[in-house]
Structure 1
Amino acid sequence: MLNAAEISRELIRIGERLTETNSTLKIDEALKSFSDVVRSSKCEALLEGEILRQVESVQGLTVPVEIIQYVAHVFAWPSLRRAVATLLIEARSSDLRGARALELIDESLSEDWEDRDLFPSLCG
């Protein structure tokens, strides 16, 4: 079973790979494997907590928004939908960069998310 620190480290590791390669195609398999491990280990609540923490501090993300989008799309937690909706209202009036990141996350929560083709494992 994974703990919260391991989940955070793995998200950061995958994020570093994305930064190095600048390609979601290069991290797709790692994200799928990570999501599968989280699900099989019954650690979804820990991952949900980490993603919510990231979203709540959208100006200081330590994980690239693309990774949050992938995880948000795969797990689609109602708590994440609510948090993004609330934070988006606040950010639109004071933080346009944060608002855009939240909009991207919000879009990824849709079943017909247009950008899911950036991740082949989501298209199968």
Structure 2
Amino acid sequence: PLSVDLERYYQTENEDENPFICSQPRENGMRSCRSVPTLRGEGGGGPPCGLDYEAYNSSSNTTCVNWNQYYTNCSAGEHNPFKGAINFDNIGYAWIAIFQVITLEGWVDIMYFVMDAHSFYNFIYFILLII
């Protein structure tokens, strides 16, 4: 059994600027929970870590453990992208996000977040909103 204290859900290094947004199994989003990137050694610039916890404990090598492989559940996070400014949690924030899309400022980021979480075909709504 795994006896390492990991965070409950995967988070990127710079969660506010580059959040990991994944799709629930019932949705058809572009990024699923299985899309968590492989951990890389030497501060993120080294080769990919390939071992699991058991193989690392039973060997005497110097490679690293891919801790990210143990993140298998998706859940709503505590924070929304861009310091909570971009979300559809209530009608007020939804109108702000829609206004941001209409003004063409940062609309691509919002579109990618929605596509990751919901469906690839959401780009159609964004294109129609802009036109």
Calculate the TM-score normalised by the size of structure 2: 0.31
From the CA coordinates, give the structure whose radius of gyration is larger.
Answer: 2
Kindly indicate which of the two structures has a greater share of residues assigned to helix.
Answer: 1
